[in-house]
Structure 1
């Protein structure tokens, strides 16, 4: 009986060792949307690695990719929708901050809003210093950066900073998309990354 129990215990431990990596690999990231938990498709990219390439569109539905900003430091501000208060404030904040940086810095806001809505927002809110781009066509950015909210088609709120060599140097996934990101931490990180180049 003791041999059987030992064999059974060893089998269970071996099973856990075999199943554990796949179980971990299949874990999905979750964030809060107010008081509701939502699941994100994909995985967040890893720091200190090349940032995933992506394709989005501008206000004219012209395809824009990360490679269009090659050699520049890129801050990406991902928001669910410009039609919400926090997203609007986040976009306006980075629009006002970009002038404090050199031309080697590009700031992007990416949402799944249609380009027509983004263009209207930018005109009404005088957002003219950052690039506002749409992930509405292919959802490529949301999937590659692990931000696409399953069953909603919106992006989770996040900040990414990619250096001039294309490496991801900073990221913040906001735990509750109804809250603001840490602007000060992102801007300090951007200054530090730019100073090292």
Structure 2
């Protein structure tokens, strides 16, 4: 891992680790804003699995714990791409619940929340870039194209070897036929010579 990637991931993950830890320790601060989101996703969770959390406080804790865990993985370079995707997922409800600037009428507060919304949007873009970063290794599309090209080359090489083998077999067959004709001709000559020798007077 390059030093630039290490520092960038450390900086990108810091805000999630800190804010996630605060959400786990003091979820009541965010419950009021999270209530709007929990009212929509809570019934979906209960419908999918009744054991899943559905109340606002538990969802805040769960979201914060996910941010801490994924943030630490991103910062330490472990499973960075899945960790970045998890953080991007946790950022969506956090942004929608915490900074709905379009619902605020006061122009100063609206601008303030809009700034936070745009900040989170920038973080979301950074996380998507981190999720797509393969650390200089060839991407999936390149590897698929490379392996496909390698397979075509192997097939072409195999076809060439097969054609060469068939040509060799054909050449060997022609040589055998010529040898058989020569042996047959020499046998006839020897037979005629032997027959002529028997007809000579003693």
Higher relative contact order (CA 8 A, sep 6+): 1
Higher normalized strand content (fraction of residues): 1
TM-score (norm 1): 0.22
Higher normalized helix content (fraction of residues): 2
TM-score (norm 2): 0.22
Which one has a bigger Cα radius of gyration?
2
